[in-house]
Structure 1
Amino acid sequence: MAIDLRKIERTAPALVDLYKRAGASLRRHGLEGQRAAVYLVVDHSGSMRPYYRDGSVQALADRVLGLAAHLDDDGRVPVVFFSTGVDAVTVVELADHRGRVDRIAAGLGHMGRTNYHLAMDAVIDHHLDSGTTDPALVVFQTDGGPTSRLLAEKYVCKAARLPMFWQFVGFGDPGSHQFDFLRRLGELPVPARRPVDNTGFFHAGRDPRRVPDDVLYDRLVGRFPSWLAAARAQGVIRGTTPVRSDSLGT
């Protein structure tokens, strides 16, 4: 059940417009009333420094929080910061969202390289340990391709057995070949490599803050309904035993 608008007005008035726009997008895509655990994964590699400095990462966190308020009712979003390893697993909350990303990032220290699979592993563990029966929508932000494409692809394919949809969001030059890996993820064959297509990708450009809220929300949830239908048909959401991340292997 969605968080009531009046609670948003009391606890996070700056997110009221985002909450309303997220709700409109969910209705457009037939997702009103759908429950889902929402996760945010943010790139903390060295090349991301300008996007922390200009507020792009904070803006994405606020928008995801506005979306999560419709899909879940706890007013918080688990966030994984990653680079060479997992730099932090924490939360953003309605009542304390302002500047939250800056406060977290300030305590993380070195900004390393870009290992997708370790961040995926952390999200998978968190979701399984939570005990929830709801599917998950994972917003996975990055400004470049993975250090190990082989490991990232392996995790994408094996994680397809879990009730989790991975929506990748690119920051930076739209023409960069850094994003070729993410553009090709949709081509990984079903069912030869994975039971369902469990990924989406869109590019938010050099200044992600300028992407209109309506457009961003439509891109975040646009593929979620078709994944939900396919995952239910294949027993990924219902009638299957969850696979722990330590069984995914590397």
Structure 2
Amino acid sequence: MDISGSMRKLYKSGVVQNILERIYPLATKFDDDGSLDMWIFSHSFNKLSAVVEENFDTYIEAEILNKKPSSSWGRTEYAPVMEDVISTYKYSKIPAYVIFITDGQNSDKTKTKQALIEASNYPIFWQYVGIGFEEFEFLKRLDELKGRAIDNANFFQLNDIMSVSDEELYNRLLNEFPDWYKEIHKNS
């Protein structure tokens, strides 16, 4: 979850909490213990405590706004957090599905491309979600990035997540993941 300076208003207004509450049910279906691993990022990143049934409805206020993690409200870099996610899951026997939420462009495009290419060698799928009204040209290009061992990413944009039904949101979140999942199992 992006926590760069441009996201501050979305955190304080409750939009990010709403996003979390809407994606958490998906995590309970993917993870055998019903938890959602959480990273936040701007120019650096923090891995936070997991989102679980007991804390999902107050998570953003309790774990981010009240604690003020060191990565809060800086510029936007994707590669450092992506590299940490990769190191966490690259040897996992269970595929990882990463929902990567941001509202803007990053300043480390070359390193981000390298991280996505590296991740394509492991069982990690990246679902990039752009929130707001940015153009998201870079994320669109990541979705089509050449040089990957397998297509391990998808991107879609939500101008106003509050106006999208849960059904549409889940359809969009899972649009390419099933094909990727079949492909990695076919090749293993």
The aligned runs of 1:94-243 (5 Å cut-off) are 94-106=53-65, 107-108=67-68, 110-128=72-90, 132-173=92-133, 176-177=134-135, 179-189=136-146, 193-205=147-159, 207-233=160-186, 235=187, 238=188
Confirm or deny: 8 A CA contact 1:160 1:196 kept in the other structure.
yes
Separation (CA, whole Å) in 2 of partners of 1:88 and 1:135: 19
Number of residue-to-residue matches in the alignment: 185
TM-score by length of 1: 0.70
Confirm or deny: 8 A CA contact 1:80 1:122 kept in the other structure.
no
Confirm or deny: 8 A CA contact 2:3 2:74 kept in the other structure.
yes
- The share of aligned pairs that are identical, in percent, is 35
Kindly indicate which of the two structures has a greater share of residues assigned to helix.
1
Q: Quote the RMSD (CA, aligned, Å).
A: 1.6
Unaligned runs of 5+ residues in structure 1 are: 1-41, 239-250
Instruction: Render the CA deviation track for 1:218-244: whole Å, top value 9, x for unaligned.
Output: 1111111111122223x3xx3xxxxxx
Match of 1:90 in 2: 49
Confirm or deny: 8 A CA contact 2:98 2:126 kept in the other structure.
yes
Does residue 64 of the first structure (1) align with residue 23 of the second (2)? Answer: yes
Confirm or deny: 8 A CA contact 1:87 1:108 kept in the other structure.
no
Amino acid at match of 2:142: L
For residues 125 and 108 of structure 1, do their structure 2 counterparts lie closer, same or farther at Cα, with a shift above 3 Å needed? farther
Confirm or deny: 8 A CA contact 2:48 2:63 kept in the other structure.
no
* Aligned partner of residue 54 in structure 2, secondary structure: helix
Separation (CA, whole Å) in 2 of partners of 1:210 and 1:118: 32
Separation (CA, whole Å) in 1 of partners of 2:54 and 2:48: 19
Separation (CA, whole Å) in 1 of partners of 2:99 and 2:143: 16
Instruction: Render the CA deviation track for 1:186-217: whole Å, top value 9, x for unaligned.
Output: 3222xxx1111111011111x32222111110
Give the number of the structure whose alpha-carbon radius of gyration is greater. Answer: 1
TM-score by length of 2: 0.91
State the 4+ residue runs in structure 1 displaced beyond 4 angstroms: none
Instruction: Render the CA deviation track for 1:151-203: whole Å, top value 9, x for unaligned.
Output: 11110111100101000011110xx33x10011123222xxx11111110111
Separation (CA, whole Å) in 1 of partners of 2:14 and 2:148: 36
Instruction: Render the CA deviation track for 1:10-66: whole Å, top value 9, x for unaligned.
Output: xxxxxxxxxxxxxxxxxxxxxxxxxxxxxxxx0000000111122221122122210
For residues 163 and 87 of structure 1, do their structure 2 counterparts lie closer, same or farther at Cα, with a shift above 3 Å needed? same
